[in-house]
Amino acid sequence: VAEVIWGLATSHVPSIGAAMDRGKTEDPNWKDLFDGYAPARQWLAQHEPDVAIVVYNDHANGLDLDIVPTFGIGTADHYRVADEGYGPRQVPDVIGDPDLSLHLLESLVDENFDLTVFQELEVDHGLTVPLSVWTPDPGDAWPCPVVPILVNVIQYPQPTAARCYALGQALGRAIRSYGEDVTVGILGTGGMSHQLAGARAGFINPEFDAMWLEKIHTDPAALAALSREELIREAGSEGIELIMWLIMRGAMADEVTKVHSHYFLPASNTAAGIALFDNRAPQPA
Ligand code: DHB
Ligand code: FE
């Protein structure tokens, strides 16, 4: 069987990737963010999985806005890095795991989650920035193959938080029913609070983010009870990306151990958060 060994939640702000790509991580306005990543990166380097599942959203780069699936899964053996307007990031292309993708797809469809299938997909900052947060210096290749799971968080009506949490729980069952003995890292990406356009552009809500960072660990069901409207009111129109953290969390055990978390304001126009959970550590009695 496959086993989820850790879950990593992280923001995917494009400028975090750009700061890394341009060697600016020691600049005064970035240093605290990257220092905050260090403990998670060290732990992750010692806990390399066989395969990673990255729950993310595309931002009209790999997909056109005229077709926006609510949920999707990549089944390719290879995902090219998308050109978002300045040329593709100079990071490795992403190697897929078609066998695991097809198993997850079948299992999730059998549980009534009818995912759209991407046999071809270019991946944007929503996927590559979280990989860089995990692995700052990938060299020629990322640490392991990746299965992308896509969520519509950019066009109304986004799926509910409850539906995302339920998808995560079904994903956990799908992983545990896989025939191969592999270890899995799962990433939930996006957020934290931000709003990029409209009258509230620049909106950030640290109180809400602090609540979310705590409850994603201790009480994800409470977060899953939030409505779409509450999420957009409290976290901003793009802060609703946080629902993808619930898919990651749902695939993990009810009780997990927090390895590290960090919160930084602002990265570009966004509250940047990271939270790393160990799915295997024994719980205190
Ligand atoms: C920013 C944040 C995002 O989540 C995104 O997808 C693009 C830009 C930003 O804060 O600049
Ligand atoms: Fe985004």
List, as one string, the DSSP characters of 77-134.
SEEEEP--SS---SSPPEE--HHHHHHHHHHHHHTT--PEEESS-EE-HHHHHHHHHH
Closest C-alpha residue for ligand 1 atom 1: 13
Q: Exactly one of 125, 217, 260, 262 is catalytic; name it.
A: 125
Closest ligand 1 atom to Cα of 125? 6
CB 94 within 8 Å of CB 78: yes
pLDDT value of position 283? 60
Closest ligand 1 atom to Cα of 190? 4
Summarised one tens digit per residue, pLDDT across range 55-98 is 999 999 999 999 999 999 999 999 999 999 999 999 999 999 99
| 92 vs 142: CA distance, rounded Å | 7
Domain boundaries, the chain: 3-278
CA dihedral 249, 254, 260, 266 (to 10 degrees): 40
Closest ligand 1 atom to Cα of 266? 10
Q: Exactly one of 194, 217, 260, 262 is catalytic; name it.
A: 194
Residues with CB under 6 Å of ligand 1 are: 12-15, 59, 194, 196, 238, 268-270
pLDDT value of position 35? 98
Query: Which CATH topology does 3-278 take?
Result: Protocatechuate 4,5-dioxygenase; Chain B (3.40.830)
**Closest listed residue to residue 152, CA positions, set 67, 272, 82:** 67
pLDDT mean across residues, the chain? 97
| 202 vs 207: CA distance, rounded Å | 15
Summarised one tens digit per residue, pLDDT across range 189-213 is 999 999 999 999 999 999 999 999 9
CA of 212 to the centre of ligand 1 (A): 19
Q: Name the region of 158 (left: φ>0; alpha: ψ -120 to 50; beta: rest).
A: beta
* 103 a catalytic residue: no
Percent of the chain with pLDDT over 90: 98
pLDDT value of position 285? 58
Closest C-alpha residue for ligand 1 atom 10: 269
**Res 256 pLDDT > 80:** yes
Task: State the distance between the two ends of the chain, measured CA to CA, in whole angstroms.
Answer: 27
CA of 179 to the centre of ligand 2 (A): 34
Summarised one tens digit per residue, pLDDT across range 89-141 is 999 999 999 999 999 999 999 999 999 999 999 999 999 999 999 999 999 99
* Distant-in-sequence, close-in-space partners of 16: CB < 8 Å, separation ≥ 6: 33, 129, 132, 133, 267, 272
pLDDT value of position 69? 98
* 262 a catalytic residue: no
Kindly report the pTM of this predicted structure: 0.98
CA of 210 to the centre of ligand 2 (A): 19
Closest ligand 1 atom to Cα of 269? 10
Tokens standing for residue 225: 């009870």
| 131 vs 12: CA distance, rounded Å | 9
Half-sphere exposure for 218 (CA within 13 Å, toward CB): 6
E strand map for 11-70: 51-56
**Res 282 pLDDT > 80:** no
pLDDT value of position 281? 72
| 194 vs 148: CA distance, rounded Å | 23
Q: State the ipTM, two decimals.
A: 0.97
**Res 155 pLDDT > 80:** yes
CB 192 within 8 Å of CB 153: no
